[in-house]
Structures are given as C-alpha cells and as structure tokens.
Amino acid sequence: MGIKPVKTLTLSDIARLAGVSESTASRALRDNPVINAQTREKVQQIAAEHQFKVNATARSLRTQKSHTIAVIILFDAKTQQTITDPFLLEILGVIADELTRQGYDMLLSTSKTTDKDWRSYYFDSKRADGLIVIGQGEHDERVEQLSSAGVPFVVWGAPTGSEAFAVIGSDNRQGATLAVSHLLAQGCKRIAFLGDIRHTEIEMRYLGYQDALLAAGIKPEPLLQLNTDFTAQAGYVQTQQALFKQLGSLDGIFAASDAIAMGAMKALLEQGISVPQQVALVGFDDIAMSAYCTPSLTTVKQDTQAGGKLLVAQLLGQINGAKAASQLLPVKLIERQSSLRKE
C-alpha cells in the first residue's frame, strides 16, 4: 500500500481554514496592521502549523508587482559623503524595518550607480513598485522626470511648497534658528556656519542661521559662511584652513551636520582651544555618536523614526491609488556640553 502524498496548501486553503478572504489572509501573513491583531495571529498560526510560505515568484507573476521598493541615495558627484554616513544609516534602518513590516523588500542604490532613466530602470523592468529618494541634491533632473512620468515616489528633503511631488523632511530652517539662538543665548557674538548651501536642506539651515542673527541685530558675515561637505574630514579641514584665521573673535560654530561638527571639534581641541569656553559648537541631526563624544555635542534632533515611517506610508498610499502630500516634521534642540557656557 503506497503512502499518500501530503497536499501542499495554497493561500486559498489557509484563508479557508482561517475563515477569512484570500486578500485578508495575504495581508495577515505580511503582518499588515490594517488587519486586526487577532486575525493576523490566527492566520499566521495556521500557516505555521502547515509550514506554509508565500511563493514570492508566483505572487509577483499574478499581481504584476515586484513587492520591492527601491531607495535611492542622491549624492552630489563631488561629495565625499557615503552610505556609511550615520544619519543616512539611521533613516535607512527605519525605512527597511517599516517596509519589512508591510511585506516589501528594499533595493538600495545610489545616484552614482543607477541608470539615468529611473522610470525605465525601476518601473518598466518591474524591479520596483515605487521609489523613495533620499535627498534632493542639487535639484536632480531625474526627480523632475519621475514627477512627469506619474509613477509612485516620495522624496526625503526640504519641502518648499513649489514641488510637483511629495517631499517629507524636517523643519531645517526652524532647527537652525533654534541652534543659533541657543549659541547667542550662551553669549556668542560671532558665529560661523559650516555646510554646503548648494543642497536644499542645507540652504534652509543657512537661512535659519541668518534669521537668528538678524533677529539679534547681528549682520551675517559672508566670510563666516564656509561651504563644507557633509563629512567629519571636511569639517576638520575647513576649521583648520579657514576658521583658525578667525579665532581672535570667533566664539561660536553652527555646523549643518553632526559629522561636520565633530570634525570641527577635533580641529579645535587639537589646537588647545576649549569647547565650549572659547568656541561653543552646535551640530544638526542628533546621530547616536553625538551623545558620546567628548564634550558631548549639542545638536538639532531630526525625528528619523517618524520620517522613515511617513515616507513608507506615503509611498504605499500612492501605490494603492492615494495622493501623497508634502509634510514638514518638527525638530528639537538637544542641549549638551559643547555649547553650554551658562548654568
């Protein structure tokens, strides 16, 4: 007498055993929060008992979707910034976790390696169902082409209100105003700005820097605005080569990123310049390392958790036919040792 083969269950079988529709079962298996927790747990338990796994290839052929989201990091061709930048790693981690929770894979690329025609490369080839673009760069024309193509994508950057596409980002101008106002309140009178204003987000931070100075009756000095790449090395070199010439009267630095700030701090400390007693310092981002350097770094916190989750929600909404809207996220000044002169 032969052994009767065990039937391999399909998604339809799992749905029937759970007493739900096939679409509900599919969402429950992807742990989609749209399905209530009790139903998700029931479907997942039945699937586990029958050793059921979703056939990703079959699902893609059936739905004509890849269930993959491409995340593109926009880099200026001249920048030394890489994906290992701490802020990028933080927001990428949030995006990856949220996409996994929603049943999507993440394909990571940079503008240095991807094709010029993003619609053809990602959408026509079925490589991705949507794009998340990190950074607006120097107004990259490929982003504008995506907007004209009518494909689902969302950008992390600096919303200005003039874009024809959805941009999610921090209130960079307000954050810079908070940072510089704090330095002024600590007694600083001549404050330098380190950051590359060709980038929209950094331009907004420079405008916030100017806002705070002008509100205090101080005229911004072009000599103290130094175009600086996003890296610690750039902050270190600019401080050595340019800011040391101003040290007779310079008493504050606002850096457009924590990495730049840490490079500047290293240059100052190496020359025996005390931070914050002689030069107070504030960064931007609140990367994890900013709390553990010596002295610890005062900075403007960007909410990467809220930002990453919102990027995913807005994009998946577009894929499902909803309209996406730009949104400005609040920021917060985190006071630490590098700027606190007054108790």
Mind giving me the DSSP string for 89-153? HHHHHHHHHHHHHTT-EEEEEETTTS-S-HIIIIIITTS-SEEEEE--TTT-HHHHHHHHHT--E
Instruction: Read off the pLDDT of residues 22-46 as tens digits, 9 standing for 90 and up.
Output: 778 877 887 777 788 889 889 888 8
| Domain locations in the chain as residue ranges | 11-54, 68-169+303-328, 172-302
pLDDT category, 84, cuts 50, 70, 90? confident
Kindly tell me if the per-residue pLDDT of 59 is higher than 80.
no
Which residues contact residue 144 at a Cβ distance below 8 angstroms, ignoring those fewer than 6 apart?
164
The band of 82, judged by pLDDT with boundaries at 50, 70 and 90, is low
Options 3.40.50.720, 3.30.1130.10, 3.40.50.2300, 2.102.10.10; CATH for 172-302 is 3.40.50.2300
Residue position matching structure tokens 């059921």:
52
- pTM for this predicted structure: 0.79
- The predicted pLDDT at position 52 comes to 76
Q: Summarize pLDDT for 130-173 with one digit per residue, the tens.
A: 999 997 655 567 788 888 888 999 999 888 777 788 999 999 99
Same fold for the pair 68-169+303-328 and 172-302: yes
Residue 175 · residue 205 · CB < 8 Å? yes
Strands 167-170 vs 225-226: parallel, antiparallel or unpaired: unpaired
Domain boundaries 68-169+303-328, corresponding CATH code: 3.40.50.2300
